[in-house]
Amino acid sequence: MKSKGQTKSTEAASARRKSKVKSNKESFETFAPLENKTIVLGVSGGIAAYKACDVASMLRRAGADVHAVLTPNAREFITPLSLTTMTRNPTHCEQYEQSSSWKPEHIDLAKKADLILIAPATADILAKLAGGICDDLLTSMVLASQAKVMVAPAMNPTMYGHPATRRNLDILQNTFRYDVISPEFGEVACGDVGSGKMASVESITAAVASRLLAHKTLMGKKVLVTAGGTREPIDPVRFIGNRSSGKMGIAMADALAGRGADVILVSTVEVNRAYNVLVVETAHDMQEVVEAEFDNCDALVMTAAVADFRPLRVTSHKIKKSESGDLVLELTQNPDILDLLGRIKRKDQVVIGFAAESEGLLTHAADKLQRKNLDMIIGNDITVPDIGFGSDDNAVIILGSDGVRESLPRMPKRAIAEHLCDHLVELIARIDESKAEEERDAGDEG
């Protein structure tokens, strides 16, 4: 069922893969955690703003490329010059500042940032972020970025304990998935005592470093990802396909690669990446490649929309209108790749599936989780406009065989992928722990 051109693209990709594996290994040797990391340091207007200089300096010395952004209120407490000196980069203050290029610089910066840290974060900026208000440069950048956001609140203890602030922090943490670096207990600038004093410069930089280091927690792990919709040929011209664009799978592969995983993307969509991309067309092609790679993988993430059926017969010539009146296609079932691999997976392998459902999302996803022996399933309701097939966003439910139940609201597919990476890191860490325990037990017995 595989066309000649298809075999070629698979072989070419396999050759590309071999050379890339080599170059990956070479780059691991020069790996340094905060090097090549771009951090936007947002400073809002509180007395703790003066500590932003120390934060900037520590992050820069750890190798990060730090760019400071001040809110108008922050300028009452600290000058752009101080931060420019500490970051060794221009400090941004004005939302509508003149730029040397036609592209607004801050949008570029928002896009290339690996992380946005807001320290100090006042009650005011937390409220704005929770409400999606973007009336200054910093809040606009946060909204324009898909980077991880961390906030280090600093304010009067009564303000920190106020239900409005608690609610805003809850939204930022649990809906937007921001990291909150909790303030310390102590005496604050106004003389009051309680929780509200910004975390120490050391704690903030450690939290940032561990978040960025966490990005490499899949180093040495091999993860197989599938993306796109398979095409099942009818004749040399026509095929049965589906609406999958590959965006979810590619976002997943990008996020995994960002965490240091050795990624193999098996995709029906051509994409140019530094990791290994194997281009396939049909469900059979995908099955062949995925089965060949699975044994050597620590995890498989099947986001692909694999056709359940294919035409029983594929004609070698283009079917002419004149050959028959109506055309009746006889379809036969394709193998279920995920089901086959779920059955044979080893206990040190993680298998994650996706479920595209048009009704009974929870019930059908839970059924697939159990029936296909998966560790996790990600369900998306494909009837909701602007999410799922083809769109840049998705909204999903996450069900784990360990009882995890979570629902992520609409957000960019990359943000969903980052969140799924967090789960994968946890699942793999659990496997590694139990392996280490088994080895210890075996050692004790010996």
Q: Taking CB under 6 A as the rule, does residue 303 contact ligand PMT?
A: yes
Please spell the DSSP secondary structure of 143-175, one letter per residue: HH--SEEEEEE---HHHHHSHHHHHHHHIIIII
Q: Toward ligand PMT, which CB reaches closer, 277 or 355?
A: 355
Q: Does 247 bind ligand PMT (CB under 6 A)?
A: yes
196 binds ligand PMT (CB under 6 A): no
Task: Output 105 or 392, the one with its CB closest to ligand PMT.
Answer: 392
Q: Residues 345-384: x/- map of binding to ligand PMT (CB under 6 A)? A: --------xxxx-----------x-----------x-x--
Provide, rounded to whole angstroms, the least separation between the CB of residue 20 and ligand PMT: 23
Task: Determine, following the binding rule CB under 6 A, whether residue 6 of this chain makes contact with ligand PMT.
Answer: no
Residues 6+ apart with CB under 8 A from 266: 224, 225, 226, 227, 278, 280, 286, 289, 290, 293, 304
**Window 18 to 57, contacts with ligand PMT (CB under 6 A):** none
Query: Which residues is 328 bridged to in the sheet?
Result: none
Minimal distance, residue 343 CB to ligand PMT, in Å: 12
Strands 115-121 and 376-381: unpaired
Q: Coil, helix or strand for 397?
A: strand
Residue 155 and residue 149 in contact, taking contact as beta carbons nearer than 8 Å: no
CB of 338 to ligand PMT, least distance (A): 3
Q: Is 305 in the site for ligand PMT (CB under 6 A)?
A: yes
411 binds ligand PMT (CB under 6 A): no
Specify whether the CB–CB gap between 69 and 43 falls below 8 A. yes
How would DSSP label each residue in 224-277?
EEEESB--EESSSS-EE--S--SHHHHHHHHHHHHTT-EEEEEESS----SSEE
What's the token pair of residue 73?
Answer: 């209120």
Q: Six-digit token pair at 417?
A: 């992928």
Torsion of CA 342, 11, 245, 228, to 10 degrees: -10
* Residues from 281 through 300 that contact ligand PMT (CB under 6 A): 283
Token pair in block for residue 303: 């986001």
By CB under 6 A, what part of segment 215-234 binds ligand PMT?
Answer: 228
Task: Out of 235, 336, 393, 426, point to the residue binding ligand PMT (CB under 6 A).
Answer: 336
Q: How far is CA 55 from the centre of its chain?
A: 26
Which CB, 60 or 368, lies closer to ligand PMT? 368
**Quick one: 93 or 301, whose CB is closer to ligand PMT?**
301
Taking residue 386's Cβ as centre, other Cβ atoms within 10 Å add up to: 11
* 311 contributes a contact to ligand PMT by CB under 6 A: no
CB of 289 to ligand PMT, least distance (A): 12
421 is catalytic: no
Of 245, 268, 276, 349, the one binding ligand PMT (CB under 6 A) is 245
Among 43, 304, 420, 421, binds ligand PMT (CB under 6 A): 304
Active site residues: 190
Residues lying near ligand PMT in the complex (CB under 6 A): 228, 244-249, 283, 302-306, 308, 334, 336-338, 353-356, 368, 380, 382, 388-390
